[in-house]
């Protein structure tokens, strides 16, 4: 571990966010960078998302996940980005040192002027929810079943039930149906779906797969392999309603019950986390509370569209480039941007009015479906922006842009809220 190598930037994670950040760093004049990717190839989770629908915003066309990834891999390669694959980061230091391990180099410690966390997220496992019963084979997270099918080439089962209406679950309902499995239903504990409307239409309705809203799976049965599940209706407090039990004989249960940003690296160095996103709190450059460490992608907050990942990661790359070029620059007092009524969180959470070089786009989600609503941005009691929305739902990330001159004029905390028009 002697002779510590120094880079201008180390990007942890070579998925959609890491690649976009790397490309952006290069385009912003930072050349000495490296991407550390744990998997055998770059592209991240996109590689197993073989369905269409990626890139409508970025490329104005419908691409599959691997095709979308390929465009960035190609771009990164053309720009001379080094991607170390099969390389796992084992430790991150607040001093921007990174320890990683791979088969060729062994254990290596490197340092950088800036570190970009593009670490992705993981699927909530069964143990995180109250589902009792046997712990037999046949229960998978949706993404795990997707990997088995799309990467490894194996179907996990023939009679399937899906808990959670997250997008991966919906996509897998269609995918497994097309491969000959019978999907008996999708249960969602909330009274509304957590997936994108287009996926509800294209993956469930088009295949006559029932969606059970305000329902959950409470029990699994099966000694060796799953044989049956118990589905119940829940009340407004998400508690099971006695007597509403239904049973489905299935060999497979897929869980699509939420994604959690992977943040043990940032946790270990005490980076400030957002309780709602479960990712780091960042400013307009996507810098975390730890100077010189940036975050983007699903490790920052979970996205529904890869296009937004790309957009934010590019901004993080540009932010890191600005930081690397002038590390001693004082950016002045930060102004907090917080979530108001009906809004779960905002990203970023801080702006710097005295150093407002760019327009800033804020991303947020509402915490319940709303109709006939208005997005309001307020600061110091005054309304800065308002945008009318016919319908706004938690599964779709919203955004609102503030011009740089507006940001430069901010004096107090900014609140983004969504109000329903009477």
Token pair for 216: 């959950």
Indicate the pairing of strand 228-233 with strand 139-141.
unpaired
**Nearest residue (CB) to another protein, 162 versus 393:** 162
DSSP state of 44: G
Q: Which of 56, 67, 137, 387 binds another protein (CB under 8 A)?
A: 137
In angstroms, what is the minimal distance from the CB of 34 to another protein? 17
Sequence-distant (≥ 6) Cβ neighbours of residue 289 within 8 angstroms: 271, 272, 280, 281
**Nearest residue (CB) to another protein, 86 versus 419:** 86
Contact 373, 341 (CB under 8 A): no
**Nearest residue (CB) to another protein, 128 versus 420:** 128
**How many residues bind to another protein according to rule CB under 8 A?**
55
Spatial distance between the Cα atoms of 168 and 148, rounded to a whole number of angstroms:
14
**Nearest residue (CB) to another protein, 180 versus 381:** 180
How many CB atoms lie under 10 A from the CB of residue 380? Answer: 10
Convert residues 178-197 into a mask of x (bound to another protein by CB under 8 A) and - (unbound).
-x------------------
Q: Which of 3, 60, 80, 153 binds another protein (CB under 8 A)?
A: 153
Q: Which of 8, 37, 188, 251 binds another protein (CB under 8 A)?
A: 251
Q: Which of 7, 10, 79, 86 is nearest to 42 (CA)?
A: 86
Find the distance separating the first CA and the last CA of the chain, reported in whole Å: 65
Q: Does 84 bind another protein (CB under 8 A)?
A: no
Q: Does 90 bind another protein (CB under 8 A)?
A: yes
Convert residues 97-136 into a mask of x (bound to another protein by CB under 8 A) and - (unbound).
--x-xxxxxxx-x------------xx-xxxx-x-xxxxx
Q: Which of 193, 194, 214, 218 binds another protein (CB under 8 A)?
A: 218
Spatial distance between the Cα atoms of 123 and 114, rounded to a whole number of angstroms:
28
In angstroms, what is the minimal distance from the CB of 416 to another protein? 27
Q: Which of 3, 60, 152, 243 binds another protein (CB under 8 A)?
A: 152
Using alpha carbons, list the distances in angstroms from residue 421 to 365, 372, 374, 390, 414: 18, 6, 7, 10, 21
Q: Which helix (H) or strand (E) holds 87?
A: none
Token pair for 221: 């049965």
Residues of the shown chain interacting with another protein in the complex, contacts defined by CB under 8 A = 1, 38, 86, 88, 90, 99, 101-107, 109, 122-123, 125-128, 130, 132-137, 141, 143-144, 147-149, 151-158, 179, 218-221, 223-225, 251-252, 260, 262, 264, 267
């Amino acid at each position: 571990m002697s002779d510590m190598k120094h880079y201008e930037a180390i990007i942890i994670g070579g998925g959609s966010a890491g690649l976009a950040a790397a490309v952006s760093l290069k385009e912003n004049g930072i050349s000495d960078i490296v991407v550390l990717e744990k998997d055998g190839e770059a592209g991240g989770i996109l590689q197993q998302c073989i369905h269409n629908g990626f890139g409508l915003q970025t490329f104005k066309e419908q691409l599959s996940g691997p095709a979308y990834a390929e465009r960035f891999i190609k771009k990164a390669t053309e720009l001379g980005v080094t991607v170390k694959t099969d390389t796992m980061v084992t430790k991150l230091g607040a001093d921007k040192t990174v320890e990683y391990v791979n088969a060729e180099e062994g254990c290596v410690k490197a340092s950088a002027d800036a570190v970009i966390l593009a670490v992705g997220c993981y699927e909530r496992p069964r143990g995180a929810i109250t589902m009792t019963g046997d712990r037999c084979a046949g229960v998978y997270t949706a993404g795990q079943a997707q990997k088995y099918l799309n990467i490894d080439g194996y179907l996990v089962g023939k009679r399937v039930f899906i808990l959670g209406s997250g997008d991966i679950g919906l996509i897998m309902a269609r995918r497994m149906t097309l491969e000959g499995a019978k999907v008996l239903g999708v249960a969602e504990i909330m009274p509304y779906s957590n997936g994108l409307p287009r996926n509800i239409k294209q993956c469930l309705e088009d295949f006559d797969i029932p969606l059970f809203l305000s329902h959950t799976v409470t029990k699994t049965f099966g000694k060796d392999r799953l044989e049956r599940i118990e589905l119940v209706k829940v009340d407004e407090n998400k508690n099971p309603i006695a007597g509403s039990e239904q049973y489905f004989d299935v060999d497979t249960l897929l869980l699509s019950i939420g994604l959690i940003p992977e943040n043990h690296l940032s946790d270990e160095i005490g980076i400030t986390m957002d309780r709602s996103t479960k990712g780091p709190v960042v400013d307009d450059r996507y810098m975390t509370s730890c100077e010189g460490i940036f975050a983007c992608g699903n490790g920052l907050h979970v996205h529904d569209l890869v296009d937004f990942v790309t957009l934010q990661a590019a901004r993080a790359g540009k932010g890191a480039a600005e930081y690397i070029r002038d590390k001693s620059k004082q950016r002045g007092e930060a102004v907090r941007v917080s979530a108001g009524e009906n809004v779960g969180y905002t990203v970023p959470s801080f702006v710097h009015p005295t150093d407002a070089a760019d327009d800033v786009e804020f991303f947020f989600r509402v915490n319940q479906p709303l109709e006939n609503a208005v997005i309001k941005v307020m600061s110091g009691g005054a309304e800065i922006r308002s945008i009318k929305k016919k319908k706004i739902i938690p599964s779709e990330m919203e955004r609102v842009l503030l011009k740089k001159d507006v940001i430069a004029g901010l004096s107090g905390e900014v609140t983004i809220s969504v109000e329903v028009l009477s």
